[in-house]
């Protein structure tokens, strides 16, 4: 298992993240190819020849853009740009998730729907390059688990298009909700909105470094110089121990209470949610206000799919409000094998940790279809598949 640790001892920003990845071994051409797929005009990447901090070695990536500051892209614009690009599915999805987190935070601060948020600084070419390039860099390194340190708050004020605002910036504060923070060591902006969105969206956990055999380290340098800690983000890369710790992933839970929806619509609703990308969906009988019986609809999804599934709940149920909160999922590794039975091939869902299998279960749909074909019960097919599996015959991946 390939693990990484973002040590934000001096904060985190988009350019620092990109610099740390390049310093840790991501070729600059990997970033160039990912950004080129977006078909943005007037940009280039270079390494700052004077970017090495006088107390610590590292890399600073410079984005040269001819676009002026008057270009204001909305989240809808940027999402469309990424969806239209020829990017690997994982890179596109995670990049959109970072921008979605930014849009939600900015929308809450300015009282606007996420799709209509004008990103200003974050919509500029350099920020788009930082985000898409960082996601592509992590994918290139093959990181299975990314852990981030608690984030330093900083202090003072910073100037932006809206004038002078306190540090952390309001959008940064929204992005830091629910994440571990520590007091900043300097009165300046240590965590930018882009840095907070990258950490919030891409990190699988927050806390101390995970157990690993350290293989590489990268330092991404920021622009600030002065006394105190070096202005750098440290990225540690190594091989983890999959048998020692199960992988954890961030997920979002959506919940809606309904008391005026016919139960006949609930089955199709669950199917629609799963088809739209939900990781899981269920409903539970509950007692609502005034003693009325109702239904709690619960949906587990990727943070990137929250908006789509939330819209589906509003469209296909009578609810007028959807709650959402973030959770962590601890997941076993999964794969599929096939066993040969008297009723034909049956797939097995196999889950475990590393090389250790913990559960082997026949796929019910295969058992049901084989039972219909051969005139037996699904239970008979299920038992035949388990017998074949125990015998160890006829398996393939």
* CATH assignment of the domain containing 370: 3.10.20.300
Distance CA 62, CA 44 (A): 8
**Judgement on whether residues 33 and 135 belong to the same structural domain of the protein:** yes
**Domain final position from 183, 216, 239:** 239
Structural domain range at position 277: 248-330
Indicate if 48 and 173 belong to the same structural domain: yes
Q: Is 321 domain-assigned?
A: yes
Structure tokens at 106: 């900015």
60 and 152 share a domain?
yes
**Whole-structure pTM value:** 0.67
Same domain, 275 and 190: no
Beta bridge partners of 234: 7, 219
C-alpha of 71 from chain center:
27
- Residue 309 sits in the same domain as residue 370: no
**Residue 284 belongs to a domain with what CATH number?**
3.30.70.1380
User: What are the tokens at 242?
Assistant: 């999959």
Q: Do 163 and 106 fall within a single domain?
A: yes
Does residue 191 sit within a domain?
Answer: yes
128 within 8 A of 85, measured Cβ to Cβ:
no
Determine, yes or no, domain membership for 310: yes
Tell me whether residue 219 is in a domain.
Answer: yes
- For residue 122, the 8-state DSSP code is G
Domain total of the chain: 3
Give residue 241's pLDDT: 65
Nearest-angstrom CA–CA distance, 132 and 138? 10
pLDDT at 226: 65
How many angstroms from the chain centroid is the CA of residue 362?
30
CB 234 within 8 A of CB 9: yes
Task: Find, among 65, 66, 60, the residue nearest to 223 by Cα.
Answer: 60
* pLDDT score at 394: 46
Asked which of 330, 349, 364 is the last residue of a domain, the reply is: 330
Residue 358 and residue 369 in contact, taking contact as beta carbons nearer than 8 Å: no
What was the pLDDT predicted at 243? 47
CA 319, distance to chain mean position in Å, is 27
Could you tell me if 284 and 315 lie in one domain? Answer: yes
The torsion region of residue 71 among left (phi > 0), alpha (psi -120 to 50) and beta comes to: beta
Is 397 domain-assigned?
no
Asked if 155 contacts 15 with a C-beta cutoff of 8 angstroms, the reply is no
Q: Are 110 and 226 in a shared domain? A: yes
**Of 193, 208, 239, the domain-final residue:** 239
Residue closest to 315 by CA, chosen among 264, 278, 273, 286: 273
How many of the other CB atoms lie within 10 Å of CB of 231? 24
Predicted pLDDT at 246 = 64
Q: Are 180 and 167 in contact (CB under 8 A)?
A: no
Residues 183 and 298 grouped into a single domain: no
Backbone angles phi, psi at 255, to 5 degrees: -135, 140
Which residues, other chains included, contact 380 with Cβ-Cβ below 8 Å and sequence gap of 6+?
A: 343, 371
287 with 383, same domain?
A: no
Which H or E run contains 316?
Answer: helix 306-316
Nearest to 172 by CA among 142, 193, 194: 193
* Residue 396 in domain: no
Tell whether 166 and 140 lie within a shared domain. Answer: yes
List, for the chain, all residue ranges whose pLDDT scores fall below the cut of 70: 50-55, 67-71, 117-123, 161-162, 226-227, 241-247, 393-397
Alpha-carbon gap, residue 299 to 288, rounded angstroms:
19
Residues 338 and 324 grouped into a single domain: no
Q: What is the DSSP letter of 118?
A: B
């Amino acid at each position: 298992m390939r693990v990484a640790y973002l040590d934000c001892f001096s904060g985190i920003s988009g350019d620092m993240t990109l610099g740390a990845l390049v310093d840790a071994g991501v070729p600059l051409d990997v970033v160039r190819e990912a950004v080129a797929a977006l078909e943005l005009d007037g940009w280039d990447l270079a390494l700052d020849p004077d970017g090495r901090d006088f107390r610590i070695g590292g890399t600073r990536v410079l984005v040269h853009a001819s676009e002026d500051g008057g270009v204001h892209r909305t989240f809808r614009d940027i999402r469309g740009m990424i969806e239209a690009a020829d990017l690997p599915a994982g890179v596109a999805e995670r990049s959109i998730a970072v921008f979605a987190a930014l849009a939600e935070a900015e929308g809450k601060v300015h009282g606007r729907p996420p799709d209509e948020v004008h990103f200003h600084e974050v919509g500029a070419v350099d920020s788009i390059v930082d985000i898409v390039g960082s996601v592509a860099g992590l994918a290139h390194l093959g990181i299975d688990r990314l852990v981030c340190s608690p984030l330093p708050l900083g202090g003072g004020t910073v100037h932006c298009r809206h004038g002078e605002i306190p540090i952390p910036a309001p959008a940064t504060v929204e992005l830091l909700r629910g994440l571990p923070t520590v007091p900043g060591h300097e009165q300046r902006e240590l965590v930018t909105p882009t840095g907070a969105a990258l950490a919030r969206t891409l990190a699988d956990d927050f806390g101390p470094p995970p157990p690993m055999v350290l293989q590489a380290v990268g330092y991404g340098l920021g622009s600030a110089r002065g006394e105190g800690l070096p202005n750098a983000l440290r990225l540690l890369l190594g091989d983890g121990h999959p048998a020692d710790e199960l992988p954890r992933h961030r997920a979002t839970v959506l919940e809606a209470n309904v008391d005026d929806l016919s139960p006949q619509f609930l089955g199709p609703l669950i199917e629609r949610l799963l088809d739209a990308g939900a990781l899981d969906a269920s409903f539970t009988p509950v007692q609502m206000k005034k003693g009325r019986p109702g239904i709690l609809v619960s949906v587990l999804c990727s943070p990137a799919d929250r908006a789509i599934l939330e819209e589906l709940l509003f469209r296909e149920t009578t609810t007028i409000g959807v709650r959402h909160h973030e959770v962590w999922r601890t997941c076993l590794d999964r794969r599929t094998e096939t066993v040969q039975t008297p009723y034909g091939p049956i797939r097995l869902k196999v889950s475990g940790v590393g090389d250790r299998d913990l559960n082997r279960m026949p796929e019910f749909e295969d058992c049901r279809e084989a039972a219909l074909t051969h005139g037996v019960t699904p239970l008979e097919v299920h038992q035949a598949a388990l017998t074949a599996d125990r015998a160890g015959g006829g398996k393939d991946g």
